[in-house]
Amino acid sequence: MDYLDIPFRHLDLVSNQIDQLKFLAYGIVFWFTLFYIVNETIKFKNLDKLKSDDTKNRIISIVHGLGCFIYALKWVMRDDPQFGTLNTNYQMGTILGSTAYFIYDSIACFYYGLLDFGCFAHHTMVLLGYGSCVFQHYGATEALLGLFFAEVSNFPMHSRVILRNFNLRYTNIYELLELIYMVSYIIARSIMIPFALWIHCIQAEKCPFIVKFICTGLAVQSLYYIKEMYGILLRKYQQLKERKQKKISYFWFSESPKVKDLSYANKEAKQNIF
């Protein structure tokens, strides 16, 4: 038995549907338990309900993103990923755990009133991709690499929005997190996904079609968001020039009273990059 399969050694997550359903059920219970703990113990008195619910949901999303990234990184660093190969227990444990999260998150977003068409479409496509890996016993390598590259930018993505919910948009910590988010996203999505994943995924004979389709969609979606980020970076450069001209500096963990004198303060449109 491969040492990477040790966390799931008591279950056959590749071909035994009972074990797969059992593990999926454990995962769903875990995510809903975490939801209950976060929802009942964390209170944000200074936030309205929408921002409070969004912040709580993003905390759980960060746990999922970091967990998937760590598990996938461990697999990439210690295993030898080969495209078009039979799924392993370790891969399927990670994918089924993530499947449980997306089932939870779909329900949670509906509960919180955060479920829009974009979220619904994204979660549906992810679940279809995961499902094809489960039923066809192939494609987990491609899916897990896609998950790895997708989650690289997860933490700064959600963290910056949480700061925005707390009215800390015009601070150095927000600017730093947003820059890390965009740089990591652009590197992962414009270089790694097209050249380290998409080309090999398309060529792998035994990789399920739905996984290839979703991988292609991920690449196209990434290019759209990179285009959006380019526009945001140009605006940020103009904003930096204005701050230097007016001699206004951001604070790290609170907004400067002088921010109100900036032409763009509190007038920026919602960013379409999550």
* pLDDT tens-digit series, residues 142-196: 888 888 888 899 999 999 999 999 999 999 999 999 999 999 988 888 888 777 6
Whole-angstrom distance, CA of residue 133 vs CA of residue 99: 11
Q: Can you give the pLDDT at residue 80?
A: 76
Q: Can you give the pLDDT at residue 249?
A: 92
Q: List beta partners, residue 138.
A: 86
pLDDT at 219 over 80: no
pTM: 0.85
The number of beta carbons lying within 10 Å of the beta carbon of residue 153 is 23
* Confidence label for 1 from pLDDT (cuts 50, 70 and 90): very low
Whole-angstrom distance, CA of residue 149 vs CA of residue 30: 24
Select the highest-mean-pLDDT range: 32-41, 73-82, 136-145, 256-265: 32-41
pLDDT at 268 over 70: no
Task: Tell me if 126 sits within 8 A of 4, measured CB to CB.
Answer: no
Q: How many Å from the N-terminal Cα to the C-terminal Cα in the chain?
A: 40
Give mean pLDDT, residues 42-60. 91
Task: Tell me if 167 sits within 8 A of 260, measured CB to CB.
Answer: no
* Confidence label for 11 from pLDDT (cuts 50, 70 and 90): confident
Q: Which residues neighbour 45 within 8 Å (Cβ) at sequence distance 6 or greater?
A: none
Whole-angstrom distance, CA of residue 98 vs CA of residue 111: 20
Residue type, 137: H
Give mean pLDDT, residues 229-244. 90
pLDDT at 102 over 50: yes
Q: 148 to each of 72, 163, 233, how far by Cα in Å?
A: 6, 25, 25
